[in-house]
Structure formats: structure tokens, C-alpha cells
Amino acid sequence: MHYINEFKIFLLHLKDNSQLIKTLIKNDFKKQYLGSYLGLIWAFIQPITFIAVIWFVFEVGFRASPDTNGVPFFLWLISGMIPWFFFVNGFSSGTNAIIDNSFLVKKVAFRTSILPVIQIGSAFLIHIVLILLLILSFILYGYSPDLYWLQIFYYLFCNIVLLIGLSWLTSSIRVFIKDIGNLIAVLIQIGFWATPIFWSLKLVPEKYQYIIKANPMFYVTSGFRDTFINKIWFWERGYESLYFISFTTILFIGGAVVFRKLRPHFGDVL
């Protein structure tokens, strides 16, 4: 009951300080991209270049693209890559949220739990543009919008809640253990290759597929493909949806508890 009240207070704080949060997200976004010659373009160069390289290697080079259910490989690829890019950007910046904004941590009236939310919000701005490009790509390939496309809001919400829980956990620990940042970078690399983003789950023997499905980002990336390609509602993935919701809820609560326990000591270390 105590933690439910804490969560309600947190939501009220988000509502009451929505204008401040928007301003901080804008400032963080500008700080990252608008100080260089190419500015905002840099936010898209990395994901687009990476997608182009993977497409070239598997479609043009090796000509060994996976089974895509008759959908062009490019569409199949970007529908899995785009949610992954948001996860990586949000997780990386969210982990460093406290360290990078230490000047705000020392302000008594500032609620530090919104710092990871601000970093995730900054990454979300780029994600929205990439989703619009994803939708445009499907339309240009001749695919018409349908009701399934509305599911994108559900999977966006799933990704955001997952990121907030993870970022609360890692950003609070990062203050005390600097190695966490390097560990996260390694885990992200492993996670990319372990998630069926440019390869199909069908390549894994059925008796081992549960290991891949235990990765929460499998649910999100598969959900994007269910939305645009497979035409499957999230409730049709009954056990997978239940697992993801349970896992994310536990992570969200656990991250909040750890953050709350460590928060009083941030100022002493920073």
C-alpha cells in the first residue's frame, strides 16, 4: 500500500511539473544534437546507416535474408530495428541520468526520480520520427493502414514502462558503482544479437525458444511485426503478454524501490 501511494505521488508530480519536464526534455534534446554542424541529422545517421549495412549484408551480400512471410526484407528489418534503437538510446541515457544531471540532484526541491524519465523522453522524440518513417515505408510499399496499426501505442507504452523500471534501477546503482555503465554496454551488445531482429526465431530449435522469449525486448520487437506484418493482436499472444506484463511490473516496482532507498545518498557521493 505504501508503494502504491508513492506511485500516485510520482504521477501527480509528473502532472504538476509537466511544463518543467517538457522544458528539460527539450533542453536535453538540444544539448545532444543541436550544437554540431549537422545538428538533428546526427540523431538519424546512426540508425539509418546501421539498417542500411544490415540490409546490404543480408539482402545484397550474402543473399540469405530470413523468412519474412512474404514481406520485403527491408520492412521486416526496420519494424524490428526501430523499437530496439529506442530501447538502446533510452536505456543508455537513462542509466546515466543521475550522473549527467548531478547539479539538479543537489537541489532540495527537485524530484530526482524524473531524471530518467527526461532522458527517455528525449530519446522518444527521435523514436516518434522513426515510427513515422516506418509507417511511411509500409505505405510506399503498398500496405494500407488498418486497425492493427493502432497496437503501436500499446507496444510504445510497454517499451516506455520497461525503460523507466530499468533506468530507475541502473541509474541509482550507477551513482555508487561506476562499472555499471560498462556492464550495460556489454549487455546491450549481447541483447542485440540475442534478439531476433535480423534473424528469425524459427532458426532456434523449438525446445530452446523459451530462452529467447525470456528477453522482454523479444516481446516488443515481435509486437511491432505483429502490428505491421503478422496482423496479430497482443491478447492473442496470451502467455507471452502475461509474462511481459508480470516481468515489467516486477522490474518497475523493484526499480522504484531501489531508487527510493538509494536516493537520499546521491548528494553525498556526487
Range of the domain at 56: 2-269
What is the distance between the alpha carbons of residues 232 and 208, in angstroms, rounded to a whole number? 23
- Ranges in the chain, pLDDT < 50: none
What local confidence, expressed as pLDDT, does residue 2 receive? 53
What local confidence, expressed as pLDDT, does residue 50 receive? 75
What local confidence, expressed as pLDDT, does residue 87 receive? 94
What local confidence, expressed as pLDDT, does residue 37 receive? 55
**Structural domains of the chain, count:** 1
What local confidence, expressed as pLDDT, does residue 170 receive? 94
What local confidence, expressed as pLDDT, does residue 112 receive? 82
